[in-house]
């Protein structure tokens, strides 16, 4: 399997997991505007209680970026405070990356 094909399948799997967990595409503008950013509202009454996932998936190609500097980041926002829950290096098999992301989301939801 070619690298781009694998990266596309991994990106699709990651976005599928995020949809299954109740995440939506974030409409806020962040500095990292080249990548898909997903959000989950933990509390419908509190607008400042969210989880953000910076996916490292390019909007233009739909491919998961690879390399030492590209990481999937899970951020927890409570009121005006942001806390990084996980930085996941997207290397290895798709199911391993997906499992690490799932564990980070589970930790952020607690």
Instruction: Measure the CA angle with vertex 52, ends 47 and 58; round to 5°.
Output: 135
In sign, the C-alpha dihedral spanning 88, 94, 96, 102 is: positive
Tracing tokens 């990106």 back to the chain, one arrives at: 11
Is it the case that residue 67 has pLDDT exceeding 80?
Answer: no
> pLDDT value at position 97?
94
For the entire predicted model, the pTM comes to 0.89
Q: Tens digit of pLDDT for each residue in 3-24?
A: 788 889 999 999 999 999 999 9
């Amino acid at each position: 399997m070619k690298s781009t094909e694998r990266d596309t399948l991994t990106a699709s799997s990651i976005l599928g997991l995020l949809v299954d967990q109740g995440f939506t595409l974030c409409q806020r503008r962040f500095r990292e505007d080249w990548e898909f950013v997903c959000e989950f509202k933990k509390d419908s009454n509190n607008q400042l209680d969210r989880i953000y996932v910076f996916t490292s998936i390019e909007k233009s190609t739909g491919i998961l970026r690879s390399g030492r500097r590209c990481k999937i980041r899970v951020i927890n926002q409570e009121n005006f405070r942001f806390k990084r829950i996980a930085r996941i290096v997207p290397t290895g098999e798709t199911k391993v990356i997906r499992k690490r992301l799932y564990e980070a989301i589970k930790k952020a939801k607690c």
